[in-house]
Each structure stands twice: as structure tokens, then as C-alpha cells.
Structure 1
């Protein structure tokens, strides 16, 4: 690694080749699946490349690599956990057909479904969702139309989405 820091590309390639099995073994121990472990390995290799200047020559390289690998595995686990808690599976979201008539019965429900989801939102939250998310206005445009500040629009959108997610998670399956 010290030679790699000095600019020896061949030494850097040899270092990465030698370190790869060690990094892969650590990632496999820390991750739930083989795919996630490979993602962590790739992330570790990118991180090592980006921060290789922080390695201190003369010190053992394994603890340095271990720290990087463990931290990246923890980051991947946290990310996976966040995604699982925030994503809602909707089998109908994947139904898309080229024929505009194909989803007519599902599409005709959209205004009613949206009205139901926004029923318990405050007036400001409904307005913010309508302007920014439904009509796709920018925050500046929505602020000018509604009279709300950009900050209050952001807060209202955040709270509205949080409330709608909570309502969706409580809704019994059909």
C-alpha cells in the first residue's frame, strides 16, 4: 500500500487483488445475503481508492481495511433497514399497458383515492400536496400561488406524506 501511495500502479493493483478475498470474507460475515456482500465489497473498494491517502505506511493494513469494511457493512444494513420501513408494496403500481383503455377502471378511481388519502390532512397540507406533488409546481411557484413560505410548504409536504404513509400502513389489505 505504501508503494501504491507513492504512485506505483502495479503495486496498487497487486494490493487490491490481495486484499479482495479478505474484504469479501469480512463482508460475507457481516451481510445477510451474497448480493449485499458484493455491494459492500464494491463500496469498500471505492472507499479504499478514495481515501488511500489516509493509510499510514508502516502500520498494519488489515485493521485499516477491517474498519472500512465493517463501517460500509453497517451503512448497508442501515440503508436496507430504512428502505424496508419506508417502502410500501403495491402490486397495482406495476400494471402498465400500452393501451390507454387497459387501466381505465383503475385510473377512474384516482381522484377518489387521492381524496380519501388526503381527507384527514390540514388545509395547508392538502394545498401543498396538490400544488407541488399533483400539479408539479416548483416550491417557488407554489409559494406564490398559495401564499405559504417555501419553508412552510416543505414542512406541510413532509407532514402530509408522513400522515398518508401512516394511514396506508394502517389500511387493511383488500
Structure 2
């Protein structure tokens, strides 16, 4: 099954699960488990810690499943949650050093590493989501997330001081939340 077919299947399964089909929900969780393990193992070196990340992701997905909007790709939504839960497990000093931490052997899912899949999904979703934004609202998330720049480096490139860049990121995130139908306020992830 290729990436697009898998995403369409998982999106359909999640949509049915939101409608109350518990059998479909269990099937979805079984199917995403290897994918989640691949992501966690890319981000967290310790195997036991990576398995804890997977469990955190599954609990988070269950807790926030009502926030998923079936018009959006399920895989990107799930990967964002998995990425955040993985980062939550890392010591603060290791979180954003250009994301160049040792990860061991790459886990492959359908012939691609989880890191490659994650990067492609994040880029695709962020480009699509920010396409209607203008100015600093579009620039802030692209520099911070796509190019993985710290605010101090993104500031000169965006021609915004760090505080303005933070503000632009805040407004961009609010716009994205509205676009994806999320409730106002802090996210659960």
C-alpha cells in the first residue's frame, strides 16, 4: 500500500471511529502502531523510552480524537502529535540542536524512513496550511518549522526582531487552528 492509499485508509478509519465504530477504531490503532514506533525510535534513542512515547501518543490520540477533522489528512495530524510527544521525552537541552541527534538505524515504513516520511508530511501540510497567509504570518512558521531555524537565526532572514517573530508565529498558529477547526485556547498536544 503506497503512502497516499495508507493515508486515505487511515483517514477513513478515523472518520468511522469518530462516528462511534469501535471495531474500526481498534483496527486503526493496530495499523498505526508500527508507524508510531518508527517515529518514536527516530526521536528517542532508548527503546523503553520510545515505547513510552508510543503509549503517550496512543493516549493523546484517544483523548483528542474529537479534534481531528476528516477533511484533513489523518497521517499528518497523527505525526504532529507523535513528534510533540517524542520531543516531550527529550531533555530540554537536546530538543532543538538542528535535530541532529544520533538516532541509530533508520526504521523503514513502506521503504522510507520515518524521518523522511515525517519531514515530507510536515512540509506538505505546512505549505498547504500557510498558502493563504501573507507576510510575517506565513514567514514565521516556514522559517521555524520547514527550515528548522532557531528564532535568533530566523529573525534576520525574516527582517523581524525576535519578539515580532514570536508574535507572528502566535498569530499564524491561531490562524491555523481556525483553519483546521480546532477550538480556541491552548492545544492538548
Which of the five TM-score ranges fits, normalised by the shorter chain?
A: 0.3 to 0.5
Higher relative helix content:
1
> TM-score under structure 2 normalisation?
0.41
Who wins on radius of gyration, i.e. which is larger? 1
Q: Per chain length, whose mean CA-contact separation is higher, i.e. which structure has more relative contact order (CA < 8 Å, sep 6+)?
A: 2
